[in-house]
Amino acid sequence: MATYEDFKKIELVVAQIKEAKEHPNADRLYVLQVDTGKDVRQIVAGIRKAYTPEQLIGRRVILVANLDPAVIRGEVSNGMLLAASDENGLGLLMPDKEIALGSMVK
């Protein structure tokens, strides 16, 4: 079990997808540029089978913002988008209102 203190270490923020392009070395990944309200950072996300680039650009999403950078198939990823999946497919977790970029998820 994770403790409440463990959960408090995770920084979840509202971000907006500014750019989405296909990963050059993986058919299930996108390389995204996301705006956190403080910076624009690159994220690699395995959501290509569920969304087109046009469906992603402009969307506000929930970002795990304080992960260590990871290199995924040669591209640096500076965070992780939250999504859920089941037998019907994958869906991004998104605010249902125009919440300011950088707002903390509590």
Which pLDDT belongs to residue 56? 98
Closest CA to 41 of 90, 82, 81, 92: 81
In a domain, 21, yes or no: yes
In a domain, 39, yes or no: yes
CA distance 15 to 18: 9
In sign, the C-alpha dihedral spanning 58, 46, 48, 71 is positive
In a domain, 97, yes or no: no
Domain range for residue 20? 9-92
Per-residue pLDDT, averaged over 68-85, amounts to 97
pTM of the model: 0.93
Confidence of residue 106 (pLDDT cuts 50, 70, 90): confident
- CATH code of 76's domain: 2.40.50.140
In a domain, 28, yes or no: yes
Q: What is the mean pLDDT of the chain?
A: 96
Question: What's the chain's length in residues?
Answer: 106
In a domain, 65, yes or no: yes
In a domain, 52, yes or no: yes
pLDDT digits (tens, 9 = 90+) for 24-69: 999 999 999 999 999 999 999 999 999 999 999 999 999 999 999 9
Query: For the chain, how many structural domains are there in total?
Result: 1
CA distance 24 to 74: 9
Residue percentage of the chain with pLDDT more than 70? 100
In a domain, 104, yes or no: no
